[in-house]
A and B are shown apart, each in its own frame.
Chain A
Amino acid sequence: MKKFMNKYEGFFFILPWVLGFILFTFIPLISALYLGFTDSNSITTPKFIGFKNYINLFHDNEFISSLVVTVKYAIFAIPLGILSSMTLATLLNSKIKGVYLFRTILYLPAVASGVSISLLWRWILDKNLGLLNLILSKVGIDGPGWLSEPNWVLPSYVLIALWGAGGGMLTYLAGLQDVPRSLYESAEIDGAGWFKKFIKITVPMLSPVIFYNVIMGLVGSFRKFSDAYIIGGAGNQGRFYMIYLYENAFNYFKMGYATAMAWILFLIILALSLLTFKSSSLWVFYNSSDKGKGKKQGLLHRKQKKDGNTQ
């Protein structure tokens, strides 16, 4: 018995997690896979209908529209979000007075409740009574109907996303702490200016953090829900993928259809994530990994060669 316990005690310790995973993740996942092939309304016994849900989805204009809205949002929100977070982090990495206060203030949106923020933004973006158009009117600009004119709905959501850039900023700040000062010092000796240092040192050294934020941004953009659920938007431009999925599952009793949508979403996120991972060898620089070592050595070698200091 003692021998048995010694051999397998590790398995017993992880057993609760394994069982939890099987019961609450693996089995629901397989059930969901099956549900996607049924006409489930979540109440009566589901009937197997093969690929009908998947076929119907691609003939459903509202599905296509919600997918297009989500993709458009991701195309703009992810790069702009990364750019703004990184810019903020770079600015707040300098030794300026009250830097901790600025960091705290800029991080606040990340800890505020999603629903209250959404309500706040609905007011800010109001055409007639909103803060944004009030400010614009002070400089002589007649602000648009941010949420009432279909063409302005997507920019409004991108704006809201950018307002939350403080959340991403924290990861870049952490990344910036890891950039060796020596790289900047040697670049300065070579006469590199602020911009060159940023492009040639900061960005490559932060590339693992950028990579992480691209992946998280992809997942977040495609799963966008709470603010869109509250804010909405004219002409279906605020109806993101997850909103339409939710409507089908819980408003229209089309659980099978909604589950099929969830699987398509999973495949989209999986494909985009794999693409990003695959492309990472071209642009992500790992300071300490074997994969990155070659590149790092190459960079140093090039630098040393340029300095006329090859070994």
Chain B
Amino acid sequence: MNIKWPKALISVLTIVFFTGTLWGCGTKNVDANTGSAEKADLSISTWAGADELKQMQVIVDKLNENATAYKLTIQSIPAEYNIKIQTMISAKQAPDLMWLSQEYIPMYATLGAIEDITSRAANDSNVNLSNYFDGPLDTAKYKGKLYGLPWISGPVVMYYNEAILKAAGVDFPDGNWTWDDFRVAAKKTTISIKGDGTIDQWGTVIAGWPPIQTWIWAYGGETIDKDGKIQIDSPESIKGLVMLDNILNVDKVSPSKEQAQNIGDADLFKSGKIAMYFGGVGDDLEKQINGKFKVGMAEIPQGIKKTTFSWIASTVISSRTKNKDAAYKALVDMTNATFQWKVVPPVKDGFDMVVKNMPEKAYGIDVIKKSAEYARGFNNQEKEAEIDNAIWEQIYSPLISNTKTPEAAAKDAAAKIKTIIGQ
């Protein structure tokens, strides 16, 4: 029997496999500047998935129809977004445009991974920087330079279950509540519904959300100020932490962290077990509650001033994009189009679309407007992720589990942050 042909076949397969492997490892040599029909081929990465992605695709299709300089393609990364973006940047394969959550901007700016758009934006009639609220715009800046355009700013507001407050004889919050007023209401609404002594309805739920800065800022404190100075152990900051500690450990008006994590704090509210819940203005609560009880919305309580955290994201340009002009144009067009889509846009004249896009939020539009005016992000630093982790581990988590005093927690956090930022 001739046994040569199997050897030949295997040899051919080996060569094909080997060549295929090397081919697959190679880099595609496509000229991104020209692309098809003289438009620059640009990609935009997003964490949007499912329905959100479909909505975004409609916007991008419309932009592509009208644009002469670029053709945008969406790169959807619905899971592990930040890690994948980091890996892509590291491999020099970053998308031309990227959605970035506020805390990543200083880091990527420092590393030179994103484009400084300060002068372009200042001289562009399509960008009205004065129309932006200061809070969101500040998060797109680092060391005086602008690195992106914010497209969403979702301030934290206080949702409340009207039936629970009514039953407890608590007047609905009027927007001028202090944290002391909140404590009174929360205590009255933390009860055992079954009457067996086991608490099964709580005044609120605080298990890591909202950010601890909610209380620190309310009393004039900061974690780190705009100049990068650590302020987390200042008397003002500690006053805010003491307030949080009172809510959690003196009044005991929140379910345990495990309960909140296992059921989900928003789900606890939706199931009617929580009187007052801190959520983003864009949270899809009303539809999911579906009339089971009436939801109210109020500005979050104040300390010595009104302030609230806002979830902010920007679109940025990769510094490795091959066509910076087209990328900048796409950034501006995409951002302006997103103002008509995402609730809440970070601009002063963007509220009409809130009711249009989310009619179920109409009842709270005044609260949304007022909150947006003073909502803000963190004073983000280059090592924001490490700092956030230190704040969680040294303050928030110990206060939730009642294992540290606010003073000790603040001192430990300050020491830890000092080592992180090398002060």
Residues of A within 8 A of B (CB): 9, 12-13, 15-16, 19-20, 23, 41-44, 122-123, 125-130, 145, 147-148, 234-236, 247, 250-253
Main secondary structure of the interface of B (DSSP, over half): helix
Q: Bound complex: CA of A217 vs CA of B51, how far in Å?
A: 44
Beyond A129-B258, A253-B107, 16 additional pairs, beta carbon < 8 A: A12-B11, A19-B21, A23-B25, A42-B86, A44-B112, A122-B262, A125-B258, A126-B256, A126-B258, A126-B262, A128-B258, A129-B262, A129-B263, A148-B257, A234-B401, A234-B403
State which of B123-131, B224-232, B344-352, B382-390 sits at the interface with chain A.
B382-390
Residues of B within 8 A of A (CB): 7, 10-11, 14, 17-18, 21, 25, 82-83, 86-87, 89-90, 107-108, 111-113, 255-259, 261-263, 383, 385-386, 389, 393, 397, 401, 403
Q: Bound complex: CA of A145 vs CA of B262, how far in Å?
A: 14
- On whether the beta carbons of A128 and B256 are closer than 8 Å, the reply is yes
- On whether the beta carbons of A16 and B386 are closer than 8 Å, the reply is no
- On whether the beta carbons of B262 and A16 are closer than 8 Å, the reply is no
Can you give 18 contacting A-B residue pairs, CB < 8 Å? A12-B14, A13-B14, A15-B14, A23-B25, A42-B86, A42-B87, A42-B90, A43-B90, A43-B113, A125-B258, A126-B256, A129-B258, A130-B258, A145-B256, A148-B257, A251-B385, A252-B383, A253-B385
- On whether the beta carbons of A16 and B21 are closer than 8 Å, the reply is yes
- On whether the beta carbons of B111 and A43 are closer than 8 Å, the reply is yes
**In chain A, what residue has the closest Cβ to B8?**
A5
Across-interface contacts of B7 in A (CB, < 8 A)? 9
Q: Bound complex: CA of A251 vs CA of B101, how far in Å?
A: 13
- Identify which of A126, A145, A236, A252 contacts B393 (C-beta below 8 A): A236
- On whether the beta carbons of A16 and B17 are closer than 8 Å, the reply is yes
- Identify which of B83, B90, B259, B386 contacts A129 (C-beta below 8 A): B259
A230 to chain B, nearest CB (A): 10
Across-interface contacts of B258 in A (CB, < 8 A)? 122, 125-130, 145, 147-148
B417 to chain A, nearest CB (A): 13
Across-interface contacts of A42 in B (CB, < 8 A)? 86-87, 90
Count chain B CB atoms within 10 A of each CB in A130, A145, A251 and give the residue with the most. Answer: A251
Across-interface contacts of A252 in B (CB, < 8 A)? 383, 385-386
Across-interface contacts of A16 in B (CB, < 8 A)? 14, 17-18, 21
- On whether the beta carbons of B257 and A122 are closer than 8 Å, the reply is no
A152 to chain B, nearest CB (A): 12
Across-interface contacts of B87 in A (CB, < 8 A)? 42
- Identify which of B10, B18, B107, B403 contacts A235 (C-beta below 8 A): B403
Across-interface contacts of B111 in A (CB, < 8 A)? 41, 43-44, 253
Across-interface contacts of B14 in A (CB, < 8 A)? 12-13, 15-16
A160 to chain B, nearest CB (A): 15
B194 to chain A, nearest CB (A): 14
Q: Bound complex: CA of A16 vs CA of B17, how far in Å?
A: 8
Q: Bound complex: CA of A205 vs CA of B211, how far in Å?
A: 58
Across-interface contacts of A125 in B (CB, < 8 A)? 258
Q: Bound complex: CA of A250 vs CA of B21, how far in Å?
A: 28
- Identify which of B89, B112, B259, B403 contacts A126 (C-beta below 8 A): B259
- On whether the beta carbons of A251 and B107 are closer than 8 Å, the reply is no
- On whether the beta carbons of B83 and A250 are closer than 8 Å, the reply is yes
- Identify which of B261, B385, B397 contacts A234 (C-beta below 8 A): B397
- On whether the beta carbons of A20 and B385 are closer than 8 Å, the reply is no
- On whether the beta carbons of A148 and B256 are closer than 8 Å, the reply is yes
Q: Bound complex: CA of A197 vs CA of B108, how far in Å?
A: 65
Q: Bound complex: CA of A19 vs CA of B10, how far in Å?
A: 17
A120 to chain B, nearest CB (A): 10
A144 to chain B, nearest CB (A): 12
Q: Bound complex: CA of A235 vs CA of B385, how far in Å?
A: 19
Q: Bound complex: CA of A122 vs CA of B18, how far in Å?
A: 46
Known: A42-B90, A43-B111, A250-B86. A123 touches B262 (CB 8 A): yes
Across-interface contacts of B11 in A (CB, < 8 A)? 9, 12
**In chain A, what residue has the closest Cβ to B80?**
A250
Q: Bound complex: CA of A253 vs CA of B111, how far in Å?
A: 10
**In chain B, what residue has the closest Cβ to A20?**
B21
Q: Bound complex: CA of A73 vs CA of B195, how far in Å?
A: 42
- On whether the beta carbons of B256 and A127 are closer than 8 Å, the reply is yes
- Identify which of B89, B257, B261, B389 contacts A247 (C-beta below 8 A): B389
**In chain A, what residue has the closest Cβ to B113?**
A43
Across-interface contacts of A127 in B (CB, < 8 A)? 256, 258
- On whether the beta carbons of A253 and B86 are closer than 8 Å, the reply is yes
Q: Bound complex: CA of A234 vs CA of B25, how far in Å?
A: 44
B356 to chain A, nearest CB (A): 38
Q: Bound complex: CA of A12 vs CA of B16, how far in Å?
A: 13
Across-interface contacts of A19 in B (CB, < 8 A)? 18, 21
A207 to chain B, nearest CB (A): 41
Known: A12-B11, A19-B18. A122 touches B90 (CB 8 A): no
Q: Bound complex: CA of A236 vs CA of B412, how far in Å?
A: 15
**In chain A, what residue has the closest Cβ to B387?**
A252
Q: Bound complex: CA of A141 vs CA of B265, how far in Å?
A: 28
Across-interface contacts of A130 in B (CB, < 8 A)? 258
Known: A15-B18, A251-B385, A252-B386. A43 touches B89 (CB 8 A): yes
Q: Bound complex: CA of A44 vs CA of B89, how far in Å?
A: 9
B334 to chain A, nearest CB (A): 24
Count chain A CB atoms within 10 A of each CB in B11, B87, B89, B262 and give the residue with the most. Answer: B262
A29 to chain B, nearest CB (A): 17
